[in-house]
Amino acid sequence: MSREYQTFEELTDTATAYLTGLCYSLSMVYHYQREWKYVGNYMKERGIKEYTPEVGSRYLNDVIGNAEYKLLPKSKRMRIRIVSSLSDFLVTGTIRKRKSHTKPEELDGEIGLVITQYIIEAARLNGYAQSTIESHRLYLSRFLKYLRERNINSFDSFTSELIIHFCGSLGEYSVITRHLIILKTNQFLKYLYKKGTLPIDYSAIVPKDKYVRQAKLPSYFSPEEIESLLSSVDRSNANGKRDYAMILLVANLGLRCCDVVNMRFDNIQWEHEKLVLIQQKTKTPLELPLFPDVGNAIINYLKAGRPQSNLPYVFLRLVPPYGKMDDNAVNGIMQKYLKLSGIRYDERRHGPHALRHSLAANLLKQSIPLPVISSVLGHVNTESTLNYLRINVDSLKQCALEVSFNIQTGKEVSV
């Protein structure tokens, strides 16, 4: 049932209270509030006094465009969902809580316990991060669910027909999800054969999955554009002081968003002018110089921007509760200042990761050796770095070795 609100702020305040009543997490409520604030700014810029579903649609069309929903990245689908929820609340007075994803099967019983043991051994052998362990658990639980639905509770009931039918039953999943389920199941079946649990290597009959992940060309911002981005930050207030320091850490040192928001005070060695941390993604150590501009920006934020808190994290939210920020917050910060700077990014990706790409490309232009660039970005090997540097073909050509032909051996040799 629709009701009238005196102001847009009254509408969003009431909707926020409704979200809280639905037991949304504080971080999720923050995401909704932030997007609604963007809508409010959009209305002010155009002199729109009253919010309507049509206004919400115009806003989404201007900031996202009219691309097909399922082709949009997760962040943009989230923006559509948040704005649409405000329109629903205006018209109906309710917000439908999104259904949670189906929980993975419990890994119990004879087969479930062996899956658990397999994941433990694989994690120990390969040094998997927790997120990788959870992905194995999720995808193999789909296989276990399939078996339980057919009352198959032991490995004695495995047959070639069973495995082939399972792979053919995955049509409801997306291409990438189906690919990952088949891949993880294949690896598990190989494990069972090597362990002697199965007398036949059923992985050999798993249908070949031809999924190929298309490599996307990394986005790149010029040094002038990055300078314009930083210049757009108003450092006269707490928000600007914090945001400026965070953007510098990504742009000048190449830190990932997760490492910025998880940065602790003991990661900063002021006396040695360096940052020392364990990377969230790779769990490997990273040591970087603390450049004066980055260090000064952090000090400025700590002295005149950071809320009083005993939390060990450097960067905090600036509205109660003053907790640690999440990774998405850095993305929101960058989008904010990209708009203020007026930088045209068109089809370029324009999240914080693009700043890592840009740092790599700019270092390459300065003829910095590839291993050094890899160490700066915290890459375990140079192959990951090469993916970043495909945007700078001319500089890569300079790194290539000259090849000549040996007439006696008939082989190419590097010189």
Q: Centre a 10 Å sphere on the Cβ of residue 128 and count the other Cβ atoms it contains.
A: 17
Q: Write down the pLDDT at residue 85.
A: 87
Write phi, then psi, for 411 (nearest 5 degrees): -120, 155
SS3 71: helix
Q: Write down the pLDDT at residue 258.
A: 85
CB 307, CB 320: distance < 8 Å? no
- Output the tens digit of pLDDT for each of the chain's 415 residues: 445 677 899 899 888 888 877 777 788 888 899 999 999 999 999 999 899 888 888 888 888 876 666 677 888 888 988 998 888 788 777 776 554 445 666 888 899 999 999 999 988 888 877 778 888 898 999 999 999 999 999 999 999 999 999 988 887 676 778 888 999 999 999 999 999 999 999 999 887 766 555 445 456 778 888 898 899 999 999 989 999 999 998 888 888 888 888 999 999 999 999 999 888 877 888 888 898 999 999 999 999 999 989 999 999 988 777 788 876 777 778 878 888 888 876 656 666 767 777 777 777 676 666 666 666 666 666 555 665 555 554 444 554 444 443 433 434 443 3
Residue 320: asked if its preceding bond is cis (omega within 30°), the reply is: no
Q: Write down the pLDDT at residue 40.
A: 93
pTM: 0.51
Q: Write down the pLDDT at residue 61.
A: 82
Tokens coding 208: 């070949």
Tokens coding 210: 């031809």
The DSSP result for 292-326, as a single string, is HHHHHHHHHHHHHTSPS---SBS-B-SSSS--B--
d(CA 106, CA 202): 24
Half-sphere exposure (Cβ direction) of 295: Cα atoms closer than 13 Å:
14
Distance from the first to the final alpha carbon of the chain:
77
Write phi, then psi, for 275 (nearest 5 degrees): -105, 135
CB 373, CB 364: distance < 8 Å? yes
CA angle 281, 284, 289 (to 5 degrees): 100
| Closest among 387, 349, 376, 384 to 255, alpha carbons compared | 376
CB 203, CB 143: distance < 8 Å? no
**AA letter at 81:** R
d(CA 86, CA 99): 18
Tokens coding 191: 């494990």
d(CA 325, CA 316): 6
d(CA 83, CA 59): 9
d(CA 103, CA 95): 23
Q: Which residues, other chains included, contact 404 with Cβ-Cβ below 8 Å and sequence gap of 6+?
A: 412, 413, 415
Strand pairing partners for 404? 413
Q: Strand locations in 319-381, DSSP E?
A: none
Burial class (CB in 10 A: 0-12, 13-18, 19+), 255: buried
CB 360, CB 388: distance < 8 Å? yes
